[in-house]
């Protein structure tokens, strides 16, 4: 993978406008990280690279010569969970249109703005089960570590939406916003069951597909490969078959959207051919 961390800096250009439009759930309850009225002190934790230095308790440093961050109950009142599909079908697309890379950046964008709002984030990949990647530090240093991990990620296997998402749901113990990023290529009933296990929380789902999936650039004798099983089909693609492909794709993406909306999730169909920041803004704002 080739995720460049510089895209996080570009999110700063969108930050203020996005804050004005997002809901209080996305933002958390507080207006800023400053220590003011309405914030109740909860505990200290050690300073980590990337933390806001304004939150260091300098009086405590004078006594201990160690850096500690003050934590307040309202600073960490929302946890954003990002769940990123890492199955073989996500390993599709070239360059900036690669599905896993594009979806990963969407998830990292949520984490970045969440940390900017002094809320916590969690980041996991999932296939037949989930794997948590973050170490619990919701700051820029942690985001850079996650980018390294995602760039080294090995994609493969099939997605077991029911097992992976149900397993993750059992780990959630606080008020949460959950972002699921996947192509959702699988049994639609299993997709729905997996998402339903998360629907007790605020849920955002994005079906990420490449332009070549949405509108295949193929004509004539063509070999299609199923990435999660390596099964191949040689056929003549064009005319009626191409029309049937688009009809079935539209029906499938429509069904994913309908079932997500039945669960009261915010849902979007995302093309990796679209400008990244346009896609991100539409997801964040909802």
Q: What is the pLDDT of residue 203?
A: 95
pLDDT along the chain (286 residues), means of 10: 88 58 44 42 75 82 84 65 97 93 96 88 96 94 96 94 96 90 96 96 96 76 57 59 85 97 95 95 83
Of the CA atoms within 13 Å of residue 44, those in its CB half-sphere come to 11
DSSP 95: G
DSSP 31: S
Query: At the fourth CATH level, which superfamily is domain 6-10+77-285?
Result: von Willebrand factor, type A domain (3.40.50.410)
Q: What is the pLDDT of residue 39?
A: 52
- Alpha-carbon distance of 92 to 85, in angstroms, equals 12
* CB-count burial class (<10 Å; 0-12, 13-18, 19+) for 52: middle
DSSP 153: P
Q: What is the pLDDT of residue 56?
A: 86
Q: What is the pLDDT of residue 37?
A: 37
Which helix (DSSP H) or strand (DSSP E) does residue 269 occupy? Answer: strand 266-271
Instruction: Kindly state the tokens that stand for 64.
Output: 């201990």
Q: Give tens-digit pLDDT for 9-47.
A: 888 766 544 453 444 444 444 343 344 334 556 677 888
- H helix runs in the chain, sequence order: 6-21, 24-27, 58-64, 99-116, 140-151, 161-169, 188-196, 211-214, 239-262, 276-285
Asked if residue 8 lies in contact with residue 139, where contact means CB atoms within 8 angstroms, the answer is no
Domain-wise residue ranges, the chain: 6-10+77-285, 33-76
Q: What is the pLDDT of residue 24?
A: 44
Q: What is the pLDDT of residue 225?
A: 61
């Amino acid at each position: 993978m080739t995720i460049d961390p510089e895209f996080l800096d570009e999110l700063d250009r969108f930050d203020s406008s996005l804050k004005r439009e997002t809901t209080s759930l996305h933002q958390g309850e507080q207006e800023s990280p400053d220590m003011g009225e309405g914030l109740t002190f909860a505990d200290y934790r050690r300073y980590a690279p990337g933390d806001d230095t304004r939150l260091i308790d300098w009086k405590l440093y004078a006594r201990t010569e160690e850096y500690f961050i003050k934590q307040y109950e309202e600073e960490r009142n929302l946890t954003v969970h990002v769940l990123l599909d890492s199955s073989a079908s996500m390993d599709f697309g070239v360059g900036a249109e690669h599905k896993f890379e594009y979806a990963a950046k969407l998830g990292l964008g949520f984490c970045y703005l969440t940390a900017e709002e002094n809320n916590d984030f969690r980041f996991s990949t999932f296939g037949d089960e989930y794997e948590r990647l973050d170490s619990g530090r919701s700051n820029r240093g942690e985001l850079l570590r996650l980018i390294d991990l995602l760039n080294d990620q090995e994609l493969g296997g099939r997605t077991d939406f029911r097992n992976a998402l149900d397993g993750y749901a059992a780990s959630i113990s606080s008020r949460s916003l959950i972002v699921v990023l996947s192509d959702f290529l699988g049994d639609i009933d299993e997709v729905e069951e997996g998402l339903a296990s998360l629907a007790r929380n605020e849920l955002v789902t994005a079906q990420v597909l490449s332009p070549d999936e949405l509108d295949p650039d193929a004509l004539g004798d063509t070999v299609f490969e199923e990435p999660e099983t390596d099964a191949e089909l040689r056929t003549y693609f064009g005319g009626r078959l191409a029309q049937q492909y688009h009809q079935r794709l539209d029906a499938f993406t429509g069904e994913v959207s309908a079932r997500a909306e039945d669960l009261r999730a915010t849902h979007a169909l995302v093309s990796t051919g679209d400008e990244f920041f346009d896609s991100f803004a539409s997801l964040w704002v909802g």
